[in-house]
Amino acid sequence: GAGVSQSPSNKVTEKGKDVELRCDPISGHTALYWYRQRLGQGLEFLIYFQGNSAPDKSGLPSDRFSAERTGESVSTLTIQRTQQEDSAVYLCASSHRTSGYNEQFFGPGTRLTVL
Amino acid sequence: DQQVKQNSPSLSVQEGRISILNCDYTNSMFDYFLWYKKYPAEGPTFLISISSIKDKNEDGRFTVFLNKSAKHLSLHIVPSQPGDSAVYFCAASGRGSTLGRLYFGRGTQLTVWP
């Protein structure tokens, strides 16, 4: 079946503009995560959605970052007033089980460049 | 504060030899560990995992060893193949954190040459 998809694959924007990144998780996966990877760094947790529960936003770096998810489907990550330090690859992952530990399936990522 | 550390940014190994990738962690609450492999322009793909109740898990050419007292784990690839060339990320998860949230190391670039 289809894996996690993300769009766009690449986004170049000017400093101060808003951007919206999209993630389509694997059908039936209840958990969805956003991570980012800045150059030379590991993956950094941003936000987690689990079903209809309130999302865990503890990883969001500032109030310019927000994310939404409709039910157990598509999620969008919005960055307002982008800054150059927001340049990174933004990765979305989804997983099936809601308890215990389980494999997360990653999308290909969106490479964001802020000029 | 980096809770998962991969101190070797790169490793070069000849085809057929063993590749050993290392990972250290600082948080004693971690009890589940994973290795992901990443090719350029692709998302990470799951490779192998281990629970803290075990000290070894094997899957084909890949074996992960866990030393809880040393807070250290390693991934062994035997025999190494050129197709194994990729960035390998160590990740950890555990009690007290967002369910399933993974903490990643910075990755090790493995190059397997013929």
Are the Cβ atoms of A104 and B102 closer than 8 angstroms?
yes
Report which DSSP code applies to B54.
-
Alpha helices (H) in chain B, listed in sequence order: none
Comparing A28 with B48, the larger pLDDT belongs to: B48
Q: Quickly state the pLDDT bin for A41 (edges 50, 70, 90).
A: confident
Above 70 in pLDDT, residue B97? Answer: no
B46 and chain A in contact, CB less than 8 A: yes
User: Are the CB atoms for B77 and B58 separated by under 8 Å?
Assistant: no
Plot region of A16 (φ>0 → left; ψ -120 to 50 → alpha; else → beta): left
Express the helix, strand and coil content of chain A in percent, nearest 5 each: 5, 45, 50
Distance CA A95, CA A101 (A): 10
Per-residue pLDDT tens for B68-79? 999 999 999 999
Stretch B21-50: mean pLDDT, rounded? 93
**Distance from chain centroid for Cα B44:** 12
Comparing A54 with B15, the larger pLDDT belongs to: B15
A7 and chain B in contact, CB less than 8 A: no
**CB-defined contacts A:B, below 8 A:** 65
Per-residue pLDDT tens for A89-102? 999 999 886 555 66
Stretch among A16-25, A33-42, B54-63, B97-106 having the lowest mean pLDDT: B97-106
pLDDT of residue A40: 82
A45 and chain B in contact, CB less than 8 A: yes
Distance CA B89, CA B36 (A): 5
Express the helix, strand and coil content of chain B in percent, nearest 5 each: 5, 55, 40
pLDDT of residue B100: 66
Are the Cβ atoms of B43 and A106 closer than 8 angstroms?
yes
Q: Chain A residue with minimal CA distance to B92?
A: A101
Which of A7, A49, A104 to mutate to test binding with chain B, by most B CBs within 10 Å of its CB?
Answer: A104
Provide, as residue numbers in chain B, all residues whose Cβ is less than 8 Å from the Cβ of A103. Answer: 34, 46, 49
B95 and chain A in contact, CB less than 8 A: no
Comparing A15 with B99, the larger pLDDT belongs to: A15
Per-residue pLDDT tens for A47-96? 999 888 888 898 999 999 999 998 778 999 999 999 999 999 999 999 88
Sheet with strand A75-79: strands edge to edge: A5-7, A19-24, A75-79, A65-69
Nearest Cα to Cα of residue B51 among B26, B73, B36: B73
Fill in the amino acid letter for B63. T
Q: How far, in Å, are A100, B28, B107 from residue B31 at the CA level? A: 11, 8, 20
Distance CA B106, CA B20 (A): 16
Comparing B13 with B95, the larger pLDDT belongs to: B13
Stretch among A63-67, B27-31, B56-60 having the lowest mean pLDDT: B27-31
pLDDT of residue B22: 98
- Mean pLDDT score of chain B: 92
